[in-house]
Amino acid sequence: MKHFNSEEISQYERDGFIIVRGLFSELEINLLGQNARTDNTMDKSSSSMDDGEGNAVRLALWNHPGDGIYGMIARCRKLVDRVEQILDDEAYHYHSKMVLKDAKVGGAWAWHQDYGYWYQNGVLFPNLCSVMIAVDRATKENGCMQVLKGSHKLGRINHVLSGDQAGADLERVEEAKKRLELIHAEMDPGDALFFHSNTLHASAANNSEYSRWAMICCFNAASNDPYMESHHPRYTKLDKVDDEQILLVGQDQAKNSRTSFADLKVDDKSASSLSEEQN
């Protein structure tokens, strides 16, 4: 089914991103938020790194969408059909994460391209798309996502380690900023930002009173199956679900089965593989 019209697809191809307002209803996003906030397993498996300014970049990550509410969000037709239109291919779930950017302490994300990391995982083409779903309202004040419009056309920029975080070569980022418009992607709960894997993005620390949690679902094109094993899955068929399943599963604790969270210290080699490359 086609959800984006041809102008929206052209906009994505030109800008490297598109925001769909209200992709998830108030009820759906409230359920997601409630589940996440009371999910002790997610809390325990979340890992935190310093952003270099004393604030904490905290996230929980999982490779397979699962059958709980997180899975229903990542597998629902209104989201995956749109991703498939963008990728012009069957999509498979590459991983999802919850970014737990808490009030006052939530850390900043350095400028990067997702493909800057995923390239290390044997993914040949940058034909991947991420969808950031606002769980809380995201504003400039609480560190909403920032994107450089059209930056996906730069191709892959080298990524280097700086402290705990791997980021894009800052000289390039600074030059790109002089030529490309910086967009603050302010979003209400339920809005979704679809962005290309080479789109440069970053976010500031959250110095406000308001938390800024967001779920990010990342998809790879089926034809872009990585040529080697990594900490994220190779092609695995994604079973789409009807959109109604979000509420049905989200309201039913018994169906809301546990997600297998990754241990980021052990499983995520993105940053360490960059340091090995440089050595």
Ligand X SMILES: O=C(O)CCC(=O)C(=O)O
Note the residues at the interface with ligand X (CB under 6 A). Answer: 99, 109, 114, 145, 201, 203, 214, 216
Q: What 3 state SS string does 175-234 have?
A: HHHHHCCEEEECECCCCEEEEECCCCEEECCCCCCCCEEEEEEEEEEHHHCCCCCCCCCC
Supply the minimum distance, in Å, between the C-beta of residue 153 and ligand X.
19
In the complex with ligand X, the residue whose CB is nearer, 27 or 170, is 170
Task: List the 182-185 sheet strands across, edge first.
Answer: 109-112, 201-203, 145-148, 182-185
Tokens of 264: 């980021």
- When CB distances to ligand X are compared, the closest residue is 203
Supply the minimum distance, in Å, between the C-beta of residue 201 and ligand X.
5
The neighbour count for residue 149, using CB atoms within 10 Å, is 15
**Contact of 137 with 190, CB cutoff 8 Å:** no
In the complex with ligand X, the residue whose CB is nearer, 145 or 192, is 145
In the complex with ligand X, the residue whose CB is nearer, 247 or 273, is 273
Phi, psi (deg, nearest 5) at residue 8 = -65, -40
Supply the minimum distance, in Å, between the C-beta of residue 27 and ligand X.
24
Supply the minimum distance, in Å, between the C-beta of residue 256 and ligand X.
24
Scanning the structure block, which residue is given the tokens 């307002």? 21
Closest CA to 136 of 246, 194, 62, 210: 210
In the complex with ligand X, the residue whose CB is nearer, 193 or 249, is 193
In the complex with ligand X, the residue whose CB is nearer, 180 or 241, is 180
Supply the minimum distance, in Å, between the C-beta of residue 267 and ligand X.
15
Q: Is residue 190 left, alpha or beta, with left meaning phi > 0 and alpha meaning psi from -120 to 50?
A: left
In the complex with ligand X, the residue whose CB is nearer, 113 or 256, is 113
Supply the minimum distance, in Å, between the C-beta of residue 248 and ligand X.
28
Tokens of 201: 């993005």
